[in-house]
Each structure stands twice: as structure tokens, then as C-alpha cells.
Amino acid sequence: MQSFQEIIFKLKQYWAQRGCIIQEPYDVEVGAGTMCPETFLRVLGPKPYRVAYVQPSRRPADGRYGDNPNRLFKHSQLQVILKPSPDDVIEQYLGSLEAIGIDLRKHDIKFEEDNWESPTLGAWGIGWQVMLDGLEVTQFTYFQQCGGIDLDLVPAELTYGLERLSAFLQLKDSVYDIEWNGAFSYGDVRYLDELQYSVYNFEMADIPTLWKLFDLHEGEAARLIAAYNPKAADKRRFPLLPAYDQVLKCSNLFNTLDARGAISVTERVGVIQRVRKLAVAVAHAWADQQKEPEPQLASTEVAQ
């Protein structure tokens, strides 16, 4: 039986052979692999890019104290970005399932319409949920817009639900029974994460503190964004990546406050707008920062 980690190794290997940079998880808490700069910022602009990484994704509201066999506060996504998407992208994707031992002549695979949209990121795309014997194993999206910007090259984003896929392959009814490796189960490794974060997110997170943190991170992001000068000669050294981290902090705090029941319905839209405004501003600044500098007078040639 393939262990959880072997499945991950094989998928990473598969995508590495197809030109992907293999990244490690981003070190700021996120709700989905899409939010990592490796996706959110890299899909902007005209430069091709291919990357794959496993991203632990935090959804405070989905926590179930480790009691529910299929729902997790923190699940693992394998995020693959192919920019631009190759013509045979679906074939490549199906090949990745075969690489982890799924014989697709003997399994039922269907692509069901599912368009993805993230209001907080000003991002959306067209795609499918990929159903394997009735189980949604992957979200497949052709990005169209990110940070409110129409993308120059259309990337394909493949997001694999690794726990689901592993439970499927290992024939387990509970994610906690998945074999992480030969000696440890998923429950051994992650049960306490689920229990303790559920307790924190639902019961103990201090609402005024979280709001204060939200305001602080928002303020820091806004301060940096306001200071970005697109005409500055040394604009490439301007810290947009750290500014984006502040946006991610806000997003996670919003999710935690939401799970804690601290955001009323009327406030909700407004808070999403606050995060979106920052994300969109960073995206625009980033797109500008990535542009090739205007050709300067050829002083180097003169020097020769």
C-alpha cells in the first residue's frame, strides 16, 4: 500500500519531470494553496512559470475537533501551476493519477463544471471538479483573473485534495486511519492539530485581540502599499512580498473570527472588501514591479 507520503513523493516527482519547480509549503498561514505568492503573484504578468507544492490549508470553520472522519481544519493541498497551460494539460493531469497507481480504464472519471471564485483575492477561473468514482479529488481551474487583473497567460491550476486521494487509494473510511508512513497514521500526526485548533477557533480565540491584530496587519499592509512608487528607479527592492504576507495574515484572522462567530452577516461583506482591497492593490503593484524596466540610454555600449 502506498503511504500518504509516498503518494506525495510520486506526485511531486511526476510534476518535477514536467518542468515544475518543487516548492515547500509557504510559511504563512493560508486558507488555500492559491493564496500563496507562488500562485497569487506568479500567475500575474507575461512570464511562464511552473511550480508544484504541498500547502497545508487552514479553514477554521471546517474544524470538527477531530471527530468527523472527513472534515478537517487543516488539510493538505497539492497545488500545481502550469503557466501557460499546455494543450495536453488534461492528459498530463490524468497521467499524474496513473502515476500513483490509478488505472483509469477501470475507474470512472468525470469532469463536472465548477467555476472557482475567490472574492477576497479578486480572482476567478473556469473549470471543473474532477470526480473519481464519485469522489471529488481535484479542482481544475483555468485562471482568468487574479487581483482583479486579466491574466496575460492563462495558467492551469490543479489542486489535489491529498487526504481524500490517499483515503481513496488506501480504502480508508476515515482520514485519521490513513497511513502517513509504515509506522504512523494520519491521526497520530494530526489529531491534536484538529482538536486544539477547533477548541481555539470555536471557543477560546479572544475576539478583541483578533480584531486588534487584524487592524494592525491591515494597517501595515496599507502603509506599505501606499509607499510603493511605480516610478522609482529602484522599485524592485520595494517590499511587496512582505506587504502581501500582511494581507494573508488578515485573511486568516478573518477566517478565524468568522469561525468564532464574531462577524455578523452585515459586517461580513465589508471585511471581505477590506481584505480584497489590499490583495488587489498588492497584485497591481506587483504586476507593475515585474515589468521590464524601460530601456535606458545605452551607457554600457558607450563605455565599451
Which chain residues interact with other proteins by CB under 8 A?
A: 68-71, 84-85, 87, 90-91, 94, 104-113, 115, 125-126, 128, 132-135, 142, 144, 150-154, 168, 171, 173, 264-266
Q: DSSP letter for 185, please.
A: B
Question: How far is C-alpha 3 from the geometric centre of its chain's CA atoms?
Answer: 23
- Closer to other proteins at the Cβ: 41 or 224? 41
> Cβ of 204: how many Cβ atoms within 10 Å?
9
CB of 146 vs other proteins, minimal distance in Å: 12
- Closer to other proteins at the Cβ: 278 or 287? 287
Backbone angles phi, psi at 125, to 5 degrees: -160, 170
CB of 129 vs other proteins, minimal distance in Å: 11
Q: How far apart are CA 17 and CA 226, in angstroms?
A: 41
> Cβ of 149: how many Cβ atoms within 10 Å?
17
- Closer to other proteins at the Cβ: 12 or 75? 75
What residue type is assigned to position 174 of the chain?
S
- Closer to other proteins at the Cβ: 134 or 182? 134
Strand 109-113 to strand 116-118: parallel, antiparallel, or no bridges (unpaired)? unpaired
CB of 170 vs other proteins, minimal distance in Å: 11
**Under a CB-based contact definition with an 8 Å cutoff, are residues 203 and 253 in contact?**
no
**Under a CB-based contact definition with an 8 Å cutoff, are residues 283 and 124 in contact?**
no
- Closer to other proteins at the Cβ: 71 or 235? 71
Query: Which SS3 state, helix, strand or coil, does residue 191 take?
Result: helix
**Under a CB-based contact definition with an 8 Å cutoff, are residues 216 and 161 in contact?**
no
Q: How far apart are CA 248 and CA 161, in angstroms?
A: 21
User: Strand pairing partners for 106?
Assistant: none
CB of 97 vs other proteins, minimal distance in Å: 10
CB of 249 vs other proteins, minimal distance in Å: 26
Strand 123-132 to strand 135-146: parallel, antiparallel, or no bridges (unpaired)? antiparallel
CB of 123 vs other proteins, minimal distance in Å: 14
- Closer to other proteins at the Cβ: 24 or 150? 150
CB of 189 vs other proteins, minimal distance in Å: 21
- Closer to other proteins at the Cβ: 115 or 209? 115
